[in-house]
Structure 1
Amino acid sequence: MIIVHHLNNSRSQRILWLLEELGLDYDIKKYQRDPKTMLAPPELKAVHPLGKSPVISDDDNVVAESGAIVEYLVERYGQGALVPAAGTPDKLRYTHMLHYAEGTGMPPLLMKLVFDRIETERMPFFVKPIAKAIAAKVKQMFIMPNIENNLRFLEAELHKSSWFAGEAFTAADVQISFVLEAAAARGGLDARYPKLMAWLERIHARPAYQRALARGGKYDFVK
Structure 2
Amino acid sequence: MKLEDIRREYIQGGLSREMLDENPIAQFEKWLAQAVEAKFSADPTAMVVATVDDEGQPSQRIVLLKQLDDNGFVFFTNTGSKKAQDLSANNKISLHFPWHAIERQVIVYGEAQPLSTAAVAKYFLSRPKESQLAAWASQQSRPVSSRQALMQTFQSMKSKFAKGDIPLPDFWGGYCVVPHKIEFWQGGEHRLHDRFMYIKQDDNSWAVERLNP
Do the structures match in fold with TM over 0.5? no
- TM-score range, shorter-chain basis? under 0.3
More helix by share: 1
TM-score for both structures, normalised by structure 2? 0.23
Task: Flag the structure with larger Rg.
Answer: 2
More strand by share: 2
TM-score for both structures, normalised by structure 1? 0.22
